[in-house]
């Protein structure tokens, strides 16, 4: 834990990583607090407003039982388990069970369509999946494309090819000896979008939880403190939901509030924070913008810390947060491959609107060129993080070429361009590539383009991000149609719906523009920068 201080330089200078040889996330984030006292782990609110309280004791018992289910069904150390669920009681049970058994969990976003889901399950060779009725409807359509998938555990009603998740748990033994994993042993694969080819799976070790703690503790104003309660609307399928909120909170024994609305509602969010005495939140910038737009407030909301990241807030939004909640929004920066490397705490140094903050204690962050050579302060270059680091991925799953390209000169290259000033503040400039930042999601154009050209009317497609006042960027598709098709609003909507079903609801192009041709290089590559310039 960080020692509370007002001296950033001293905090950064004196920090030392303490990573034990053996470490397991399930032991660290659950068992340490499962002492038989019924200590609260989770308050879960369902879609109907029903409230369910879950203790660390229950989480321990259920995840031990489910670890027995998985191993008795033939899964062996290192095998992958897909977790195709939103915020729920069952989601952490599944992850903790996988960690206990030395398996590798694969979080999957419930808004994924069939193609996005099929790629991730096939690429990871997942042998088992935990899902609910909505997820199973998508799995059924692609099951014949997943020869490695042997077991589907259902929450709700399935069919003869599935196993009831809770029935299996109830029939299993509570006795399970957690595997003595090393800190560097694989724990989880989190897929991230790129600009070329399919998404890449960032394989993280158990130590990734320890790697997240310094920034979480700093940006949450020296978390934890008495009576802290954590909540985030961010889905627990992403690194942000899992490792910026859920597991760091549980590492420190802090209760988590779980509730995943189908659509973020500002008034509902305020009421939830008041009702459940939430003190610590991870609110993505898009959520804060929507709240400001709705001009919401609630006298019962008593936040101690606000953690946010994914895009810059700007001075006006920072002022609104301060005036509405009475605390500062502490921006952070990171990415799936190496998260939470830069952040803010107003008690350590002034917050400068537009800045990402300063390097997190334990992280050596520099501005470098493509060879990993450090550049002078004030110079724009690639934001690099010195390797190794507990928060850093082991590799891109099954992709040694992409892994090798991610590193140079002893640094992990984030692919983000920025600069560092003489006072140690980092300033984000742009992506080095064509990744789109929309509502906190990083979206790669290649996967969307590949889906678009499967539509019978589409001959060619290019996808770019265009400015959006709420989402930072919206996905825009430029489309060349096949002979016999004419551009229309109806066709545009049909193409959008096609992407929603095949890929993901958060990745569909909100804007569609038909064109006679696309700007290309001499070698036939689309010039996305020219399309971005057209708006």
Preceding omega of 388 cis (within 30 degrees of 0): yes
Instruction: For residue 367, say if its preceding peptide bond is cis, omega within 30 degrees of 0.
Output: no
- 3-class secondary structure per residue, 259-280: CCCCCCCHHHHHHHHHHCCCCE
Residue 104, helix vs strand vs coil: strand
Walk me through the domains of the chain, giving residue ranges and CATH numbers.
24-181 (3.40.50.980), 436-534 (3.30.300.30)
Please state whether beta strands 128-132 and 80-84 pair in parallel, antiparallel, or not at all (unpaired): parallel
Q: Which of 289, 336, 254, 261 is nearest to 87 (CA)?
A: 261
Pairing of strands 411-420, 472-481: unpaired
- Kindly state the tokens that stand for 196: 């070329």
First to last CA, the chain: 46
pTM of the shown model: 0.86
- List strand residue ranges (DSSP E) for 292-344, in order: 305-309, 329-335, 338-343
Task: Return the exposure string of 284-314: e unless at least 16 CB atoms fall within 10 Å of the residue's CB, then b.
Answer: bbbbbbbbbeeebebeebebbbbbbbbbbbe
According to DSSP, the β-strands at 472-481 and 511-514 are parallel
Separation in Å, CA 382 to CA 113, 142, 375, 377, 432 = 33, 39, 9, 12, 8
pLDDT of 439: 78
As a whole number of angstroms, the distance between CA 276 and CA 94 comes to 25
What pLDDT, on a 0 to 100 scale, did the predictor assign at position 289?
Answer: 86
Element spanning 413, H or E:
strand 411-420
In sequence order, which residues have a C-beta less than 8 Å from that of residue 473 and are 6 or more positions away?
A: 436, 437, 438, 465, 466, 467
pLDDT for res 431: 67
* Residue pair 359/342 in contact by the 8 Å Cβ criterion: yes
pLDDT per residue of the chain (535 residues) written in tens, 0 to 9 = 899 999 999 999 999 999 999 999 999 999 999 999 999 999 999 988 999 999 999 999 999 999 999 999 999 999 999 999 999 999 999 999 999 999 999 999 998 999 999 999 999 999 999 999 999 999 999 999 999 999 999 999 889 899 999 999 999 999 999 999 999 999 999 998 765 568 899 999 999 999 999 999 999 999 999 999 999 999 999 999 999 999 999 999 999 999 988 888 999 999 999 999 999 999 988 889 889 888 899 999 999 999 998 777 888 889 999 999 999 999 999 999 999 999 999 999 999 998 999 999 999 999 999 999 999 999 989 999 999 999 999 999 999 999 999 999 999 999 888 899 999 999 987 666 677 888 777 787 877 887 898 899 998 888 999 988 888 889 999 999 988 999 999 999 999 999 998 888 888 999 999 999 888 755 456 778 788 888 7
- Give the 3-state secondary structure of residue 2: coil
């Amino acid at each position: 834990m960080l020692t509370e201080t007002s001296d950033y330089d001293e905090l950064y200078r004196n920090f030392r990583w303490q990573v034990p040889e053996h470490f397991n996330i399930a032991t660290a984030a659950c068992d340490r607090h499962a002492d038989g006292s019924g200590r609260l782990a989770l308050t879960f609110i369902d879609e109907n407003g029903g409230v369910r309280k879950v203790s660390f004791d229950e989480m321990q018992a259920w995840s031990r039982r489910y670890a027995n289910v998985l191993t008795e069904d033939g899964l062996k150390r290192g095998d992958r388990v897909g977790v195709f669920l939103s915020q729920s009681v069952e989601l952490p049970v599944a992850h903790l069970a996988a960690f206990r058994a030395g398996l590798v969990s694969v979080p999957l976003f419930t808004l994924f369509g069939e193609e996005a889901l099929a790629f991730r399950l096939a690429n990871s060779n997942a042998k088992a999946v935990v899902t609910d009725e909505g997820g199973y409807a998508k799995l059924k359509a692609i099951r014949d494309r997943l020869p490695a998938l042997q077991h589907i555990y259902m929450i709700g009603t399935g069919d003869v090819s599935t196993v009831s998740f809770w029935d299996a748990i109830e029939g299993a033994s509570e006795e399970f000896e957690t595997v003595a994993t090393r800190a560097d042993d694989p724990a989880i694969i989190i897929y991230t979008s790129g600009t070329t080819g399919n998404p890449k799976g960032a394989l993280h070790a158990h130590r990734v939880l320890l790697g997240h703690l310094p920034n979480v503790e700093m940006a949450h104003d020296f978390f934890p403190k008495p009576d802290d309660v954590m909540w985030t609307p961010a889905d627990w399928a992403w690194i942000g939901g899992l490792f910026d909120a859920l597991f760091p909170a549980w590492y420190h024994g802090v209760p988590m509030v779980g509730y995943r609305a189908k659509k973020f509602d500002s008034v509902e969010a305020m009421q939830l924070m008041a009702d459940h005495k939430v003190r610590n939140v991870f609110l993505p910038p898009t959520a804060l913008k929507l709240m400001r737009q709705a001009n919401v407030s609630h006298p019962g909301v008593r936040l101690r810390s606000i953690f946010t990241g994914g895009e810059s807030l700007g001075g006006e939004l920072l002022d609104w947060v301060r005036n509405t909640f009475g605390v500062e929004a502490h921006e952070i920066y990171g990415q799936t491959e190496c998260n939470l490397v830069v952040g803010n705490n107003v008690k350590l140094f002034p917050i400068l609107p537009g800045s990402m903050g300063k390097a997190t204690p334990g992280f050596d962050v520099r501005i470098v060129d493509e060879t990993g050579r450090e550049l002078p302060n004030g110079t724009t270059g690639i934001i690099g993080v010195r390797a190794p680091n507990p928060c850093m991925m082991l590799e891109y799953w099954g992709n040694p070429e992409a892994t090798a390209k991610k590193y140079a000169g002893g640094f992990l290259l984030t692919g983000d361009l920025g600069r560092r000033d003489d006072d140690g503040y980092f300033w984000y400039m742009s992506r080095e590539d064509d990744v789109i930042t929309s509502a906190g999601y990083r979206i790669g154009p290649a996967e969307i383009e590949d889906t678009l050209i499967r539509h019978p009317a589409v001959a060619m497609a290019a996808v770019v991000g265009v400015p959006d006042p709420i989402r930072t960027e919206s996905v825009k598709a430029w489309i060349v149609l096949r002979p016999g098709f004419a551009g229309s609003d109806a066709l545009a909507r049909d193409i959008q719906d096609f992407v929603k079903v095949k890929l993901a609801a958060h990745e569909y192009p909100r804007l569609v523009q038909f064109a006679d041709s696309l700007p290309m290089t001499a070698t036939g590559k689309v010039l996305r920068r020219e399309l971005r310039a057209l708006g």
